[in-house]
Amino acid sequence: MITAERKPFEEILELLEGKEKVLVAGCETCVAVCLTGGEKEAEILAAELSIKAKEDGRTLDVDHISAIRQCEWEYLDAIAEKVEQYPVVVSMACGIGIQSMAERFPEKLVLPAVNTNMLGMPQEHAVWIERCGACGDCVLGVTGGICPIVRCSKSLLNGPCGGSHDGLCEVTGPNKEEIPCAWQLIHDKLIAQGRQDLLLKVTPPKDWSRSNSGGPRTMVKEEAKPV
Amino acid sequence: MADETTTAAAPEAVESPEPANEEPQKPIDPDFEPEIIVFGCHYCAYAAADLAGSMRLQYPTNIRMIKLPCTGKLEIIHLLKALEAGADGVYAAGCLEGECHYLKGNLWARKRVEYTKKLLEEMGMEPERVEMFNMSSADGPLFAQRANEFTERIKRLGPSPVKQAKKAPAAKEGTPA
């Protein structure tokens, strides 16, 4: 799923400076599952903004709503009636949802309340880890189901490098957490599967034009287009 | 009924969770009667409140109690909505830790209360306006003690900034856009 973290309250307040009528819009898909921008969190942010405005003696008409998915026109249509009543929308969806909202309601000022950070999975309850870089050229078939693009700090296709020690990467995560060496994991997995011959093959450079370095990507499925 | 750390103490003098590092004392307005919302669980806090009543114990009339099946039902938004509506303080009262009727509901509630304190700090409101207390159903005196302590704490903090703003709306503000 796509994961996101809420922006600091201070930053949201700055974005909303001088605004008097605001709708907080949650999204019930990925950001709800990662407990950042679902209906619950939208209601909490709306309550926070309301309390802060009352403390400051400001007038603020704030309410919240949630779309099933902010990244699809149909679900934006479903909340359009409410959105139309507010000149400013604070979206708690991922970057896709925020942009969809801004595109669907061009006359509204659509502001982000979250930072979209990764494509990840819940490793355990309330802990998410990155698992996919959406590189457009998947190598999981030859890496034992372990992605070297996002799980190796250098995104190496032929690892490990000299920075792998005792199964750990020399790099630590943003919160100083240890990162398992992806290539050690790949190595162990392929040996366990009896596929160690794959480790001797040199993987040529990937086609990065299929990743986001080639500009925004578009996917079309002609067979599924409405007739 | 006193816990192990205060063996010689009477039930009324159980160790207080009041924060020691109080801000410089503001003058307490003698006319200020705080409005305090209590979210109490059915199995312990509410029963303790009942017991306090049966024991004819005095506790402030400032508290308004809302019964929950378990404090695990308490959501962050419940605490915020109470404050938004003008409550001066809110606390949750659940079973003793490790003795929740639903096993861990009170531990979830504590986490939510702690998180709400952080939200209050973000909003520039005193985090002491929300709290989590634990008590058993036999803790009638402790229920009264916590109600007294919390009411005193809120009296020291003064009226909620939300309420103050309500009373004196800023003249500079225009009508909503």
User: Are residue A113 and residue A7 in the same domain, yes or no?
Assistant: yes
pLDDT at B173: 46
Q: Are A83 and A106 within one domain?
A: yes
Best probe of the A interface among B78, B80, B113, B175, by most A CBs < 10 A, is: B80
A63 close to A46: Cβ distance less than 8 angstroms:
yes
What are the sequence ranges of the domains in chain B? 34-167
Residue B19's pLDDT band (cuts 50, 70, 90):
low
| Per-residue pLDDT tens digits for B37-90 | 999 999 999 999 999 999 999 999 999 999 999 999 999 999 999 999 999 999
The band of B2, judged by pLDDT with boundaries at 50, 70 and 90, is very low
Q: Mean pLDDT across the stretch B118-125?
A: 95
Considering Cα of B151, then B71, then B118, then A51, what sign does the dihedral take?
A: negative
- Minimum-distance CB partner of A21 among B123, B124, B177: B177
pLDDT at res. A173: 87
Whether residue B2 lies within 8 A of chain A, CB to CB, comes out as no
> How far, in Å, CA of B123 to CA of B127, rounded?
10
Report the residue from B76, B124, B162 with minimal CB separation from A44: B76
Distance (Å, rounded) from C-alpha B8 to C-alpha B2?
Answer: 8
Q: Provide the domain count of chain A.
A: 2
Kindly state the helix (H) or strand (E) to which residue B84 belongs, with its residue range: helix B76-84
Looking at the structure, do residues A6 and A114 belong to the same domain, yes or no? yes
For residue B26, give both structure tokens.
């503001």
- Asked if residue A66 belongs to a domain, the reply is yes
Cis peptide before B159 (omega within 30 of 0): no
In the structure encoding, which two tokens stand for residue A215, read together?
């500009």
User: CB-based contacts of B131: which residues, under 8 Å, 6+ apart?
Assistant: B17, B89, B90, B91, B92, B113, B150
A-chain residue closest to B172, CA distance:
A58
Contact B65, B38 (CB under 8 A): yes
In the CATH scheme, what architecture does the domain B34-167 have? 3-Layer(aba) Sandwich (3.40)
Asked whether the beta carbons of residue A55 and residue B168 sit closer than 8 angstroms, the reply is no
Task: Write the residue in A40, A50, A58 that is nearest to B84 by C-beta.
Answer: A50
A169 token code pair: 């990467």
Q: Contact, A92 vs A42, CB < 8 A? A: yes
pLDDT mean over B138-164: 95
Q: pLDDT band for position B6 (50/70/90)?
A: very low
Chain B residues closer than 8 Å to A51 by CB: 80, 83-84, 123, 125, 162
Whether residues A14 and A82 fall in one domain? yes
- Answer whether residue A125 is part of any domain: no
| Residue A130 contacts B, CB cutoff 8 Å | no
| Cβ contacts from A onto B, under 8 A | 61
Tell me the residue range of the domain where A11 lies.
2-118
**Of B23 and A46, the one with more pLDDT:** A46
Interatomic CA distance for residues B80 and B76, integer angstroms: 6
**ipTM at complex level:** 0.88
CB A67 within 8 A of CB A26: yes
Minimum-distance CB partner of A9 among B123, B162, B165: B123
What is the predicted pLDDT for the residue at B21? 55
Residue A220 falls inside a structural domain: no
The token duo for A188 is 């162990």
Query: CB-CB: which of B76, B122, B169 is closest to A9?
Result: B122
Which long-range contacts link A154-159 to residues 24+ away (Cβ below 8 Å)? Answer: A156/A183, A157/A203, A157/A204, A157/A205, A157/A206, A158/A202, A158/A203, A159/A183, A159/A186
Average pLDDT over chain A, rounded to an integer: 96
Domain end, chosen from A58, A88, A118, is at A118
B21 and A CB contact within 8 Å? no
Instruction: Looking at the structure, tell me whether residues A55 and A147 fall in a common domain.
Output: no
Asked if B127 contacts B120 with a C-beta cutoff of 8 angstroms, the reply is: yes
Average pLDDT in chain B? 86
- This prediction has a pTM of 0.88
Half-sphere exposure for A60 (CA within 13 Å, toward CB): 28
Query: In this structure, what token pair is assigned to residue A133?
Result: 């870089």
Q: Are residues A16 and A95 in the same domain?
A: yes
Tokens of A105: 């309601």
**Given phi > 0 = left and psi -120 to 50 = alpha, else beta, which region is B56?**
left
Kindly state whether residue A219 falls inside one of the protein's structural domains.
Answer: no
**Tell me, what's the pLDDT at B176?**
47
Confirm whether A40 is domain-assigned.
yes
Residues in B 94-113 with any Cβ partner in A closer than 8 A: none
Question: Is residue A71 a part of any domain in this protein?
Answer: yes
* Res. B15 pLDDT band, cuts 50 70 90: low
pLDDT band of residue B164 (cuts 50, 70, 90) is confident
pLDDT at B24: 54
On whether both A51 and A89 belong to a single domain, the answer is yes
Domain shared by A6 and A62, yes or no:
yes
pLDDT tier, B10 (very low <50, low <70, confident <90, very high otherwise): very low
Are residues A25 and A112 located together in one domain of the fold?
yes
Q: Do A20 and B176 touch (CB under 8 A)?
A: yes
Residue A9 forms contact with B (CB below 8 Å): yes
Q: Which residues of A53-84 are buried (b: 16+ CB within 10 A; e: fewer)?
A: bbbbbbbbbbbbbbbebbbbeebbeebeeebe
Q: Measured on CA atoms in the order A126, B83, B133, B50, is the torsion positive or negative?
A: negative
What sign has the CA pseudo-torsion A177, A183, A185, A188? Answer: negative
**Residue that finishes a domain, picked among A66, A86, A118:** A118
Q: Are residues A90 and A186 in the same domain?
A: no
Q: Given this model, what pLDDT does residue A213 score?
A: 79
Asked whether A46 and A58 are in contact (CB, 8 A), the reply is: no
Where does chain A have alpha helices with state H? 9-15, 30-33, 39-56, 73-78, 80-83, 95-104, 148-151, 182-192, 197-200
> Which region, left, alpha or beta, applies to residue A201 given φ > 0 means left and ψ of -120 to 50 means alpha?
beta
A223 part of a folded domain: no
Residues A33, A70 share a domain? yes
Which of these three, A118, A144, A177, is where a domain ends?
A: A118
Q: Is residue A202 part of a domain?
A: yes
**Per-residue pLDDT at A155 exceeds 70:** yes
- Could you say which residues from 55 to 84 on chain A have a Cβ atom under 8 Å away from some Cβ of chain B? 55-61
Q: How confident is the model at residue B25 (pLDDT cuts 50, 70, 90)?
A: low
Compute the average pLDDT of residues A79-93.
98
